[in-house]
Amino acid sequence: MKQNKMVLKINHKELKDLTKIYCDKKISFFVRGRFGIGKSRAIREVAMEKAKEKGRIFVEWNSMTENEKLALMDNPEKHYVFIDIRLSEYSPDDIKGLPLFMNNQRAIEFKIPLWALLLEHKDSDGVLFFDEINLATPLVMSSCYKIVYDRVVNQSRINNNWFIMMAGNTEEDRAYTTDVPSPLKDRCGEVELNIPSIEEWSEWAIKNKISSSIIGFLNFKNSNLWKVNYEDNQKYTTPRSWERCSILIDGIKNDDYDKLLLIVSSALGEGVASEYVAFCKLREKVNLKEILKKPEKIKDLDTEKDLGMMYFLISAIADNYRTGEVKFNDVMNITKVLDEIKKVEFVALLWRLCISYNEKFEEEFVKDKGSALEFANKYLKYL
């Protein structure tokens, strides 16, 4: 069956805003979208923010040991629990529970999952997240009807604190999805998450300490942020795979190109890896120390022809600011030149990276009574 195309399409910020509203009202919510674009992460981030709002400790049920879960069951009032259930891995019995004969042997009752017992505890609170819902079998999805709408797991009633969220892939993902039944969709709000723009992703990446060289590269070649072609036999690149890549190259020397190529090829495929390593090799053409001494040399670059070099330069300056090799005044001198050649996008990216790497960057503006404050008034609106 074809999925309904007339569903509201939203960006990541709108998803988080809507999720918070549905969470506050305790109305179930369903988001679908292409794989690897951050659906699950966005929901988890909302849960973490809600835990902070409520003054509770955020915990992930799936990461807890059996003893930790049992201890939580006894005293759940201090915690905000995120339960991530991948429905593609479940059978109907996993949701409904297993039958058990009662003492008189003429009737049965169902032993429900441990997480369902937590949901009925009056002091428990959190998010019940049904992920990959449309990869589940129709019988498993049917078993969710009562949970989503009636807030009941078999005979166990979910307390009023809990928020129920669902996510799934689109049919374009070729993930063997099953269309979510209309009665289930009618029990919740429904949206489709767009693939993030490079601006949206960069904002997230900077906050989450993604490698500055990756941020610079993808701002230069933003078509590589999400590249899925089912015909060319190349490995796909997604925001999720770039995050994985950033973790893998952490600690690798920037000029160890052979190792970078090996790692990035395994994470993203050889084609994109070659482009990324070529970007990193631009350091051989850029004398960073010379530019820091004479920032006006940036004017010698053709900012259209040497666009990759400009993005590399910005990411390199920010990275060296993180290590302390580049100082606040160096960044401001570079900013002055970028301002003269009217490159607002580079100023905004440089500042956002520097702020992410060192919170004291903003404090320096307050201390500087000269040009820094003048630039702050001009460019802070772009951050």
Same domain, 83 and 122: yes
Domain-embedded: residue 336:
yes
Domain-embedded: residue 244:
no
Give burial (CB, 10 Å; 0-12/13-18/19+) of 316. Answer: buried
More confident residue, 380 or 137: 137
In sequence order, what are the residues at sequence separation of 6 or more whose Cβ sits closer than 8 angstroms to the Cβ of residue 265?
A: 273
Same domain, 188 and 226: no
Domain-embedded: residue 270:
no
Same domain, 295 and 348: yes
Same domain, 164 and 204: no
Same domain, 133 and 24: yes
pLDDT (0 to 100) of residue 73: 93
pTM, 2 dp: 0.85
Beta bridge partners of 166: 30, 130
Give 99-120 pLDDT, tens digit per residue: 666 666 666 666 778 898 999 9
Give 227-243 pLDDT, tens digit per residue: 988 777 778 899 999 99
Give the chain's domain count.
Answer: 2
Same domain, 223 and 175: no
Q: Which helix (H) or strand (E) holds 58?
A: strand 57-60
Same domain, 52 and 134: yes
Domain-embedded: residue 271:
no
pLDDT at 1 over 60: no
Neighbours of 220 (CB within 10 A): 20
Q: Which helix (H) or strand (E) holds 244?
A: helix 239-249
Same domain, 93 and 232: no
Domain-embedded: residue 246:
no
Same domain, 141 and 204: no
Whole-angstrom distance between the N-terminal and C-terminal Cα of the chain? Answer: 44
Q: Is 124 helix (H, G, I), strand (E, B) or coil?
A: coil
Same domain, 148 and 213: no
CA–CA gap between residue 88 and residue 85 (Å, rounded): 9
More confident residue, 94 or 383: 94
Give 313-372 pLDDT, tens digit per residue: 999 999 899 888 999 889 989 988 998 988 888 998 998 899 888 878 877 776 766 666
CA–CA gap between residue 3 and residue 144 (Å, rounded): 19
Q: In what order do the strands lie in the sheet with 9-10?
A: 9-10, 189-193, 29-33, 163-168, 126-131, 79-86, 57-60
pLDDT (0 to 100) of residue 368: 67
Residue 375 belongs to domain spanning: 198-239+279-382
